[in-house]
Structure 1
Amino acid sequence: MEPSPLTQDSRPDTFQPKIIRLYEQLFRGDDEDSELSEGFWQEFFLHRPDSQGLKRILGSIAPDDMLHQQAHSQQLLHRAIIRVKQARPPADEIALETLTVFLDATLTKKFTNPSSDIISVLAGLHDADAVMTEFVATLDTVIRNGRTITLRLKAIRATLSITAAGFHTALPSYFTHRDLFPSLMKYVQDCEDSAEVLPAFYLLGLLANYNKFEFQNPYRLRLDDFVNDSIIQKMIVCFGRSCLELRNAYVAVQEDMPEGWTLGSTLSYIGLGALAPNSRPSTPVPAPEEAKSLFVALPGPEIGVLLSTYDFVNANKVFCFNLITLQSENSNDPPPLSAYLSLTSYLFQHAHRSTRAALYTYLSLFVLQILVEDQLLLKRLCNDETKISVRLCRQRQPYLPIVKGERIPAAVIVDLMVDGINHNLRRRLDVDFYVLCLGVLLRILSYLSRAKLRISYHWSELWRTLLAFVRFLTTYENDIKTNHRSVELTSILVNLLAFALSNGENFLPDPASYDDLFYKLVESGDTLIKFRDAFGLSSQSGSMQTLINVSSHYHSLLEGSEKGKVRSKNLSPREVSNVIKQGYETLSIDASEGLDRWERFREADSKTVLKKIARVAVDDAKILSVQ
């Protein structure tokens, strides 16, 4: 019997998805200048994308090789635009997903001449304007009127990818030539899930920051007069949800609720009492080194939405008002302001772990400074009607006193500043950070004094922190004085203490709180003198001399209270308190004018750090756009 001419091929060890073979044919073809067939593209846009496979193939191609085979990459962009414009499923979705991965992988390559080389790869230098303009117009149309929210979201992710990956080239200028703002706002308005809002809100921040110090950015101008409350509130809800998730990532590394608290009381403390079960599963506690590496990776890439929030806060009072007053859409979630302040607390305690974390901490401080500089907004932050519960970070000592229940937001912000001062002390001091913290404190105390608002707060913690900071600066004077802003730092610190001393009766809730400030100044008498001498504050600082005069006045009274034989450390707290009260009669405080003088936030003054922040937000957007 003749053998059959049919033979059975051996089964391969692994099956390669067809789309991978198409990727290889597209990007590793022998004839780079050949026009791929219509059949190839029909098949290409029928297969679901393999993001990891496409990333791997693109990652293996050198920038020069990418330029060499630019004809195929140009065909991909051209064919993808056609599929998106045709709006036929699933080809349009596949085209957008493929473009997102392709753009991210291609635009992040280290080309010799980034702007011109990238344009060559995508469109060719001669056709660049026509192709890129058509591409942006296509994305704009889908974002505004795409057949589904999912498709519109994919278009936003593609736009986010090209904006982030090409941020430092000329590519994003195509998105400034065509105004995507109305389409983005319509998309946000149509969203029902706040998670879907995040990419659009994030993208808006990147577009508003593109070369904004070099030319009049149209997106930045759009933020000024935008007054649609419903859209603004959706963005703020999205921001609040993102803050909550980012904060929870810190808690997942190290649970920091006070010992002895039940889960029920804990959930009640943060406004989630309705969720309290009988018990919760325990999670393993990571080893110290593991926890350290986990903390270094935080916050997650979603934190870049803080840049968008900052831009809105800096430009738009309607946004600020909603940020302060908006309640959560779900009664089990904390209000957005509470979630934001809670995340800021964790950022402050971990700001030292990376430059990236420190930059986002600056950004949060900018937001807080802008809010407390507006007297109407600060009035609301001090109003009982806006009381909130905020979970503050307790992952590092020293701890602030626990306050259960709701408080006015201004008191929480003071806690944040105290925590920030306590947890970022090091010889190479981040002077910029401390100037910002002290500035926020000065603005709040100044307002409380003028409005004569006596708010409930553990004031002794503030005085202890400020005077401990004086001791720290005195100890490391040589390291601190090398910073060009050290004079500004010491000036604002001394003015803040002197202002509290001369105006404390206007905002402190009771005489005992005022007495405590005097008592702590007396305790720090020797340190104050050393501080004055170390930083050369003898002649130019009347505030410094006021502090020393008050301390010396009470030292003399306390030393003479037992005929010169008993010093203050041997007196009981009640006896010291009595001496302080008696000393008021013979005390003269030079209530110098202008101790609470401050200048309003000007973005141009922080241009350098804001550019650095934009760069890290762009890097985070690259991660976010392909997740």
Structure 2
Amino acid sequence: MAQAEKKGGLLWKSSASKKPLKEKVVLMYDEIFMTEDPSKCSPRFWEELFLMKVNLEYLESKLESLDGEELMKIKDNINCLFQHCIQALGEEHPIRVVNALQTLCALIRGVHQKNKSTSGFDIINMLMGFDKAELCMKNLMESLDSLLCAEGSESLKSLCLKLLLCLVTVTDNISQNTILEYVMINSIFEAILQILSNPPSRREHGYDAVVLLALLVNYRKYESVNPYIVKLSIVDDEATLNVSNQQYKDKEEEHQSGFFSALTNMVGSMFIADADEKISVQTNEAILLALYEAVHLNRNFITVLAQSHPEMGLVTVPISPIPTTPVTPLGTTPPSSDVISSAELPLDADVQTSNLLITFLKYSSIVMQDTKDEHRLHSGKLCLIILTCIAEDQYANAFLHDDNVNFRVNLHRMPMRHRKKAADKNLPCRPLVCAVLDLMVEFIVTHMMKEFPMDLYVRCIQIVHKLLCYQKKCRVRLHYTWRELWSALINLLKFLMSNETVLLAKHNIFTVALLVVNLFNMFITYGDTFLPTPSSYDELYYEIIRMHQNFDNLYSMVLRLSTNAGQWKEPASKVTHALVNIRAIINHFNPKIESYAAVNHISQLSEEQVRSISINVRRNLAFNTLSQEVLLKEFSTIS
């Protein structure tokens, strides 16, 4: 007997048969793509269809082969197929439900793909018909909600989430996906939260559920009231917010841990280290987006960021399972459980404590190294936006600056020839804000290149500004090596001036220059409220005097451009005005230093000599006090 080979829904006999045989399901698809109702000749057509294994490839290719006019001719049959798929979701037979879910995915993808090349029809009308769309989507969302909340098959839940992700992501711009209006009306927020609240479900579907929620939150978020935003903003997960370590021990509390716990586990799993001790990570914009939405929309999540726990690997307590999925929507890679269960290693023999914020800072320090890669550039931007949200939050700032809660944070530092690698064991325990400032300094120092990441620099300096505003407001005297920040900022100004021609062709570099100069004005004008000791002021003045040539060159550049009638006149003049105090310091001290050197026949003064001069003459220095509106102005908050 001749053997048959299967290809694209066709059965080819190995003998010299002229016509290939078609699978029955393919023949049934062909009937649907005729203009007549297929159930006229076969009353049991729809019942039999959903007992057949779906041929996704054939169904999608068939839709793709039709032009817009041909598709409109079979609109009634497409509507009928869509409606019968929804009806099949209520069947008890799981095979029918699985086949209906897969068919819906193929239909939605196929029709949307056709609409990209032919915009002569409406997606909703083609799939459901305008007159039945509201009822169809209501029934669909209710069925999906029931399947997600049921105790049934995990594979069915996975298919439901895949269908929802397919529905959400078929358009490039989520806000242009009109079908999502029905997903807003018929909310599945509680079903998603239930999946994330149950450890076994979270392990199987957590990644897809978190990504789906993050996407739904972004649907027309600025144009209308998004119910998913409202519901996410009021989630108050008691077990997750409980700062005790019972969540690691008490299964009942773990059962209630929900969205925050799922997201905490996923963010905590971003590290992958190779054998050569080079640290690399998978960029995962989807999880970062979910983290941003949680931090931005729900103040309760800030407490989760701050929640301390023993470093994993040192304790024998159960770790919440990590969600994995076989398919990766949006081209991202879900966290891998074998990678993640290896969390932070101790820095010494003592048990260290960690939290989600430390994990996030370490992740950011790695991702933000290479902004030449587009994925890492986007991830780095998301990291800085999340840090901006944190720096704007009063509770987060209080935790960051708490001198009684100290951590060792081993940030990744890019190898550079002019500096030695810091030994991990020598890391001091400090308030977490020091790690945030270290991260900002590291970024400033390591990204001065002709492909200048302007937007990231602006966000980075704004984060420092927000932290200083909090310190000034609450009179927090942070013991930090401020000189590293000052040196990094001055070198940034030097870089901008050295590459003026190249950078001005692409960017308004005066935005960054003004931010940097105003940071120095913050230290000069209000440093007495937050600098740790009087000697810190001496260090500030010394750094300004030592690097005065850079400020002089900056003043010459902005003065030149502000006196010319060009496009940079206004932004350059703002920098000119902001330099008043720095120039006052330089003009006041330099003559004194030169006079001291001449009298004592010294060609080059030591730092101690300059600082002694500073102490003696600083009291006579008068500043042009810039308005608080300029220096303490809160930059536009993240939206």
> Counterpart of 2:283 in 1: which secondary structure?
coil
Within the candidate set 392, 404, 417, 2:411 is matched to 392
Counterpart code for 2:236: V
CA drift of 1:497 comes to: 1.2
> Counterpart of 2:478 in 1: which secondary structure?
coil
Q: Does structure 2 retain, via aligned residues, the 8 Å contact 1:137–1:178?
A: yes
1:333 matches 2:343: yes
Q: 2: distance between equivalents of 1:419 and 1:542? A: 29
Q: Does structure 1 retain, via aligned residues, the 8 Å contact 2:283–2:379?
A: no
Q: 2: distance between equivalents of 1:567 and 1:161? A: 75
Match of 1:535 in 2: 558
Q: Larger deviation: 85-94 or 100-109?
A: 100-109
Counterpart code for 1:318: N
Match of 1:141 in 2: 146
Q: Which consecutive residues of structure 1, in runs of 5 or more, have no partner in the other structure? A: 1-7, 258-290, 605-627
Q: 2: distance between equivalents of 1:549 and 1:401? A: 37
Match of 2:593 in 1: 558
Match of 2:298 in 1: 316
Counterpart code for 1:170: T
Within the candidate set 399, 416, 424, 1:380 is matched to 399
Q: 1: distance between equivalents of 2:65 and 2:416? A: 50
Q: Does structure 1 retain, via aligned residues, the 8 Å contact 2:514–2:575?
A: no
Counterpart code for 1:202: V
Greater share of helix residues, 1 or 2? 1
Task: Return closer, same or farther for 1:107/1:242 CA change in 2, 3 Å cut-off.
Answer: farther
Task: Return closer, same or farther for 1:521/1:540 CA change in 2, 3 Å cut-off.
Answer: closer
* Residue deviations 1:230-255 (CA, integer Å, cap 9, x gap): 4775433333433344442xx55984
Match of 1:549 in 2: 584
Match of 1:307 in 2: 289
Q: Larger deviation: 586-595 or 209-218?
A: 586-595
1:438 matches 2:461: yes
CA drift of 1:511 comes to: 5.5
CA drift of 1:418 comes to: 1.8
Q: Does structure 1 retain, via aligned residues, the 8 Å contact 2:513–2:575?
A: no
Task: Return closer, same or farther for 1:228/1:390 CA change in 2, 3 Å cut-off.
Answer: same
Task: Return closer, same or farther for 1:54/1:549 CA change in 2, 3 Å cut-off.
Answer: farther
Larger RCO, structures 1/2 (Cα 8 Å, 6+ apart): 1
Match of 1:516 in 2: 539
Q: 2: distance between equivalents of 1:66 and 1:423? A: 55
Task: Return closer, same or farther for 1:254/1:416 CA change in 2, 3 Å cut-off.
Answer: farther
> Counterpart of 1:147 in 2: which secondary structure?
coil
Q: Does structure 1 retain, via aligned residues, the 8 Å contact 2:268–2:359?
A: yes
> Counterpart of 2:169 in 1: which secondary structure?
helix
* Residue deviations 1:147-170 (CA, integer Å, cap 9, x gap): 345533432231122012143231
Match of 1:237 in 2: 261
TM-score (norm 2): 0.74
Match of 2:519 in 1: 496
Match of 2:248 in 1: none
Task: Return closer, same or farther for 1:101/1:401 CA change in 2, 3 Å cut-off.
Answer: farther
CA drift of 1:517 comes to: 2.8
Q: Does structure 2 retain, via aligned residues, the 8 Å contact 1:460–1:517?
A: yes
Match of 1:345 in 2: 365
Match of 1:77 in 2: 82
Q: 1: distance between equivalents of 2:430 and 2:105? A: 45
Task: Return closer, same or farther for 1:603/1:592 CA change in 2, 3 Å cut-off.
Answer: closer
* Residue deviations 1:572-617 (CA, integer Å, cap 9, x gap): 444444444445455445554425412264456xxxxxxxxxxxxx
Match of 1:209 in 2: 218
Percent identical residues: 20
Q: 2: distance between equivalents of 1:33 and 1:99? A: 21
Q: 1: distance between equivalents of 2:529 and 2:522? A: 11
Match of 1:625 in 2: none
CA drift of 1:414 comes to: 1.2
After superposition, the CA RMSD in angstroms is 3.9
Q: Does structure 2 retain, via aligned residues, the 8 Å contact 1:189–1:231?
A: no
Q: Does structure 2 retain, via aligned residues, the 8 Å contact 1:348–1:419?
A: no
Count, aligned residues: 551
Counterpart code for 1:529: D
Task: Return closer, same or farther for 1:162/1:467 CA change in 2, 3 Å cut-off.
Answer: same
Q: 2: distance between equivalents of 1:216 and 1:191? A: 31
Q: 1: distance between equivalents of 2:199 and 2:462? A: 38
Q: Which consecutive residues of structure 2, in runs of 5 or more, have no partner in the other structure? A: 12-21, 242-256, 313-317, 320-340, 345-354, 560-571
* Residue deviations 1:388-436 (CA, integer Å, cap 9, x gap): 4544333454878566365432112112222332333344644332222
Q: 2: distance between equivalents of 1:186 and 1:115? A: 40
Match of 1:177 in 2: 185
Counterpart code for 1:85: G
CA drift of 1:496 comes to: 0.3
CA drift of 1:456 comes to: 4.0
Counterpart code for 1:340: F
Q: 1: distance between equivalents of 2:449 and 2:516? A: 17
Within the candidate set 464, 488, 498, 1:465 is matched to 488
Task: Return closer, same or farther for 1:203/1:444 CA change in 2, 3 Å cut-off.
Answer: same
* Residue deviations 1:473-508 (CA, integer Å, cap 9, x gap): 222334555678644433221110121234445444
Match of 1:35 in 2: 38
Q: Does structure 1 retain, via aligned residues, the 8 Å contact 2:220–2:226?
A: yes
> Counterpart of 1:363 in 2: which secondary structure?
helix
Q: Does structure 2 retain, via aligned residues, the 8 Å contact 1:349–1:419?
A: no
Task: Return closer, same or farther for 1:136/1:397 CA change in 2, 3 Å cut-off.
Answer: farther
Q: 2: distance between equivalents of 1:388 and 1:102? A: 53
CA drift of 1:171 comes to: 0.9
